[in-house]
Amino acid sequence: MQIWNDYLAQHKDRFLKELLALLRIPSISADSAYKADVAHCAEAVQQSLLNAGVDNAEICLTSGHPIVYAEKIIDPSLPTILVYGHYDVQPADPLELWHSGPFEPVIKEGKIFARGACDDKGQMFMHVKAFEVLAQTNTLACNVKFMIEGEEEVGSTNLGPFLEQNKEKLKADIVLVSDTSMISMEHPSLETGLRGLAYMEVEVVGPNRDLHSGVYGGAVANPINILCKMIASLHDENNHITIPAFYDKVEELSDADKKALNAAPFDLKEYADELGVQEVWGEKGYSTLERTGTRPTLDVNGIWGGYIGEGAKTVLPSKANAKISMRLVPHQSSHEISEIFQKHFESIAPANVRVKVTAHHGGEPVVTPTDSVAYKAAAKAIQTAFGKEPIPTRGGGSIPIIALFEKTLGLKTVLMGFGLDNDNIHSPNEKYDVANYYKGIETIPYFHKYFAEMS
Amino acid sequence: MQIWNDYLAQHKDRFLKELLALLRIPSISADSAYKADVAHCAEAVQQSLLNAGVDNAEICLTSGHPIVYAEKIIDPSLPTILVYGHYDVQPADPLELWHSGPFEPVIKEGKIFARGACDDKGQMFMHVKAFEVLAQTNTLACNVKFMIEGEEEVGSTNLGPFLEQNKEKLKADIVLVSDTSMISMEHPSLETGLRGLAYMEVEVVGPNRDLHSGVYGGAVANPINILCKMIASLHDENNHITIPAFYDKVEELSDADKKALNAAPFDLKEYADELGVQEVWGEKGYSTLERTGTRPTLDVNGIWGGYIGEGAKTVLPSKANAKISMRLVPHQSSHEISEIFQKHFESIAPANVRVKVTAHHGGEPVVTPTDSVAYKAAAKAIQTAFGKEPIPTRGGGSIPIIALFEKTLGLKTVLMGFGLDNDNIHSPNEKYDVANYYKGIETIPYFHKYFAEMS
């Protein structure tokens, strides 16, 4: 629509500047040292929503970080879109690998470099700005509600209770989320599924104190060696996960689904080259797209034990730790898999060590329907803005809250992500292409329009 | 001898106070932040030797930390004892596990708690004080040379060249070292062998940056998982080391030697209880004393990779690292084993990661003869001071320099250690019993006397 394009053209510099201001706030939810920054970021989001034209915007306190809620009801008889996003970000370390400060956004070669640039401040803010375009040009076709949380990166612990307590307030027809990626600007796509997550922390304790590895080496179990052995045993030679019952509820894709999934444009050599690896890795019998989209995984996210400073120390340490997470696929339950993992990990511990297993946050896998009005409206919006049909894909990441929307609010979700796989989310030098940011702001109003028309 | 006992009784408080002063200097050789403290410690040792009565004491600069050399030549025709020790100490971390500051020595229940209390400031200083006893009571029976270095904990890198360049100056009849332990005050012992050491650092690199474990998990090799698998493969199910040719030069003990070794007083349950482990661990087919004294080992001394902070981060890290050391037994060569390890570790790396292996310092294994004049003099000194024959034992630790003494100076060594296995050397809350400190000062003069008489 010309009126939207004109408005965007007129305000695009400000739209970018406002995002950069938001990126300057180090809203790291995992680290309690940043609690005040997270609260400050919630206020900034609230203010930006008020400026964009919502009727009211509130900061909803939780026992963790606050949730920002806002709404604009133009006509109760029209469909309502509930926009979900998050303003918290991942920790920035390892800091030494960033080329510029994670919270000092810079634009280089058309890319915004900052922690949260893509995940999810950049993508969430597209909705605030798209709403501004609609509201300020008097072209809103749906009622809009915003629910922007501050704990997505730490498992959305307080969003579940918030949904329970605000069912009436959150009534809507669809949840709209931009917190995933698409294949490329040339191959726009829509995600139709997300993996779930079970995230564990394990500790292996041997002797009651650090020992001299000369005096005791070879005579006392070394917790690092034992932990390595236990972790190594979690995959077999085909890279299948060996935890009993782990795959029990995993469904194999139908041949047709397999074919559709593998039809997405994908160049294995380009993929490997971009990552700097000579060979990819994964479960035998599955393609890379199948592995990331449809198969459960187990990765060590962190490991530590013993002396890790400069030089050499001949210590046989008292304990060793690791953070281990599993990505889950439909029908697997985060809680169940956490329990299965714990039981198995404890069972494989030899008698000369003690093992402690605790669960961090988890999330359930989701599949979103492709035959719904909402999916069709999203597909048509992308067709209009990009001039191309979107390719349906399966995402490897997890947004724990999506499954809860359906369970608690009875709402389906549309995953309209504008990120790219090489955006370095959760990594140093996270970026978001300026073009993708603007393209999102251009596309979203069409979703509002088509969703109203098709509903 | 009454005259020695009288002198010791008269000066024992000062002898303890002087040791505590030395323990206050954080002479951590591995950490360059402590370079000035290490230098300051060398000066303190020099001063203490001058005060004790040496003819001259000098600070010998090296490209690393200095060596303190001192001597007292009473008669060139008498035998000469070269006392070797070290004034540098291990790093103190993990600091949070210390009950009092590592460099703020306290005496509790008859034990001196401080980093270096036993290893080796406490033991080295017994020789300074025993020399004082002999010198101040005019009862020296041998010439004495002191060579106290500041790099033992980092592999004695500069001591080899120092020996080469000072062969004439270091001429002696025996090297006397207190840097090992004995079984107990009730069961005094003398070590007749030490294990060697090969210390490696490995790095496993996967993708060229940290990745999101959802987007890439299951499709790209995770360097931590791979490192764990590689480390796990270094031991088989009997806890034998799997590196090809690793055992080629290892000799099995004769049945007689085995019998003698296992005759040392040792209670497996007490040993396990003291360490807080339910079961010991080790190579199948060997007893605990055989494992620590006569078998080579492989231990991970440190491991790190990925996110190790508070909470959860779903990262698939770019790399993972470990410090891995091997204790060696007679006929194994540190250099050779380092090469064998490197070759093997590189060979087991899968094609989807790159591996870098570097060697830290190493040391050769030693066996000291029990039929020599020096060993007999040491045994008689212990018999006199303790009223009991010492038990010959094999130590698990390494003092890399001992093999070099023989190779470069043609000198055998007597290992007259007064430490205890539970002194927590290289661990938090390192301690040295005040009684052992004084017992050492009481015993050493007898060695001088008997060595002169028997030579």
| Domains of chain A listed by start with CATH number | 2-194+365-454 (3.40.630.10), 196-250+296-363 (3.30.70.360)
**B312 and A306: CB-CB below 8 Å?**
no
Closest residue of chain B to A239, computed from CA coordinates: B218
Contacts of B278 in chain A (CB under 8 A): 351-352
- CA B130 distance to own-chain centroid: 22
Q: What is the mean predicted confidence (pLDDT) over B27-46?
A: 97
Closest residue of chain A to B320, computed from CA coordinates: A303
Reduced to 3 states, what is the DSSP secondary structure of residue A44? helix
ipTM value greater than 0.85: no
pLDDT on residue A24: 98
DSSP H/E element including A297: strand A297-306
**A217 and B307: CB-CB below 8 Å?**
no
The nearest CA of chain A is from the CA of B303 a distance in Å of 5
**Selection from A266-270, B226-230, B263-267, B313-317 with the highest mean pLDDT:** B226-230
Q: What is the mean predicted confidence (pLDDT) over B7-34?
A: 97
> Which residue(s) pair with B145 in the sheet?
B71, B82
pLDDT on residue A89: 97
Of A425 and B260, the structure prediction assigns the larger pLDDT to: A425
**A214 and B195: CB-CB below 8 Å?**
yes
The mean-pLDDT minimum among A6-10, B247-251, B403-407 falls in B403-407
B360 touches chain A (CB under 8 A): yes
Query: Quick check: B178 and B436 in contact, CB under 8 A?
Result: no
The nearest CA of chain B is from the CA of A368 a distance in Å of 18
A213 touches chain B (CB under 8 A): yes
Reduced to 3 states, what is the DSSP secondary structure of residue B198? strand
Confidence of residue A122 (pLDDT cuts 50, 70, 90): very high
pLDDT digits (tens, 9 = 90+) for A356-395: 999 998 888 988 888 899 999 999 999 999 999 999 888 7
A63 touches chain B (CB under 8 A): no
Which residues 71-100 in chain A show a CB within 8 A of chain B?
A: 90-91, 93-94, 97
Query: Quick check: A155 and B312 in contact, CB under 8 A?
Result: yes
Between helix B2-23 and helix B121-136 the angle, nearest 10°, is 140
- Closest partner residue to A313 (CB to CB) among B292, B310, B426 is B426
Q: Smallest Cα–Cα separation from B101: which of B116, B114, B118, B88?
A: B114
Confidence of residue A94 (pLDDT cuts 50, 70, 90): confident
- Closest partner residue to B219 (CB to CB) among A288, A301, A352 is A288
Q: How far, in Å, CA of B226 to CA of A272, rounded?
A: 17
Residue with tokens 């402590």: B34
Residues of chain B above pLDDT 90, percent? 85
A398 touches chain B (CB under 8 A): yes
The mean-pLDDT minimum among A155-164, B241-250, B341-350 falls in A155-164
Please give the C-alpha separations between residue B257 and each of A153, B261, B309, in angstroms, as whole numbers: 61, 6, 50
Asked whether residue B179 carries a pLDDT value surpassing 80, the answer given is: yes
CB pairs below 8 Å between A and B: how many?
370
- Closest partner residue to B311 (CB to CB) among A154, A211, A291 is A154
Residues of chain A above pLDDT 70, percent? 100
A360 touches chain B (CB under 8 A): yes
Contacts of A238 in chain B (CB under 8 A): none
Structure tokens at B371: 């039929």
B267 touches chain A (CB under 8 A): no
pLDDT on residue A121: 98
Q: How far, in Å, CA of A150 to CA of A35, rounded?
A: 10
pLDDT on residue A376: 96
Contacts of B353 in chain A (CB under 8 A): 277
Pick the residue of B228, B229, B235, B345 with the most A CBs within 10 A to test the interface with A by mutation. B228
Q: What is the mean predicted confidence (pLDDT) over B135-158?
A: 95
**A312 and B297: CB-CB below 8 Å?**
no
Query: Quick check: B407 and B172 in contact, CB under 8 A?
Result: no
- Closest partner residue to B310 (CB to CB) among A30, A225, A321 is A30
The nearest CA of chain A is from the CA of B392 a distance in Å of 16
pLDDT on residue B45: 98
pLDDT on residue A397: 78
Asked whether residue A293 carries a pLDDT value surpassing 90, the answer given is: no
Pick the residue of B203, B220, B239 with the most A CBs within 10 A to test the interface with A by mutation. B220
Confidence of residue A76 (pLDDT cuts 50, 70, 90): very high
Contacts of A199 in chain B (CB under 8 A): 312, 314
Angle, vertex CA B438, rays to CA B432 and CA B440, nearest 5 = 85
Exposed, middle or buried by CB within 10 Å (0-12, 13-18, 19+), for A223? buried
Contacts of B217 in chain A (CB under 8 A): 292, 297, 299, 325, 327, 396
Asked whether residue B400 carries a pLDDT value surpassing 80, the answer given is: no
pLDDT digits (tens, 9 = 90+) for A296-339: 999 999 999 999 988 888 899 999 999 999 999 989 999 999 99
**Region of A439 on the Ramachandran plot (φ > 0 left; ψ -120 to 50 alpha; else beta):** alpha
Confidence of residue B265 (pLDDT cuts 50, 70, 90): confident
- Closest partner residue to A210 (CB to CB) among B31, B283, B428 is B428
pLDDT on residue B288: 95
Query: Quick check: A226 and A390 in contact, CB under 8 A?
Result: no
Please give the C-alpha separations between residue A390 and each of A125, A172, A186, in angstroms, as whole numbers: 22, 25, 10
Pick the residue of A34, A200, A267, A300 with the most B CBs within 10 A to test the interface with B by mutation. A300
- Closest partner residue to A216 (CB to CB) among B320, B361, B396 is B396
Tell me which amino acid residue B222 is.
N
pLDDT on residue A394: 81
Q: What is residue B241's DSSP assignment?
A: B
Contacts of B222 in chain A (CB under 8 A): 281, 299-300
Contacts of B321 in chain A (CB under 8 A): 308
The mean-pLDDT minimum among A56-65, A241-250, A413-422, B254-263 falls in B254-263
- Closest partner residue to B300 (CB to CB) among A306, A311, A352 is A306
- Cα dihedral across residues A116, A119, A124, A129: positive or negative: positive
Q: What is the mean predicted confidence (pLDDT) over B80-104?
A: 95
Neighbours of A278 (CB within 10 A): 13
pLDDT on residue B26: 98
Q: How far, in Å, CA of B216 to CA of B212, rounded?
A: 6
B235 touches chain A (CB under 8 A): yes
- Closest partner residue to B305 (CB to CB) among A197, A303, A360 is A303
The nearest CA of chain A is from the CA of B454 a distance in Å of 32
Tell me which amino acid residue A188 is.
P
Cβ contacts of A309 within 8 Å, gap of 6 or more: B30, B31, B91, B93
Contacts of B315 in chain A (CB under 8 A): 301-302, 426-427
Of B391 and A106, the structure prediction assigns the larger pLDDT to: A106
pLDDT on residue B113: 98
pLDDT on residue A435: 98
Confidence of residue A208 (pLDDT cuts 50, 70, 90): very high
B64 touches chain A (CB under 8 A): no
Asked whether residue B396 carries a pLDDT value surpassing 90, the answer given is: no
Confidence of residue B343 (pLDDT cuts 50, 70, 90): very high
pLDDT on residue B264: 83
The nearest CA of chain B is from the CA of A136 a distance in Å of 37
pLDDT on residue A328: 95
Q: Are strands B211-212 and A143-149 parallel, antiparallel or unpaired?
A: unpaired
Tell me which amino acid residue A167 is.
K
Residues of chain A above pLDDT 90, percent? 85
pLDDT on residue B401: 86
pLDDT on residue A80: 98
Query: Quick check: B314 and A325 in contact, CB under 8 A?
Result: yes
List, in sequence order, the alpha helices (H) in A152-222: 159-165
Query: Quick check: A377 and A451 in contact, CB under 8 A?
Result: yes
> Which residue(s) pair with B70 in the sheet?
B57, B146
Tell me which amino acid residue B41 is.
C
Closest residue of chain B to A229, computed from CA coordinates: B232
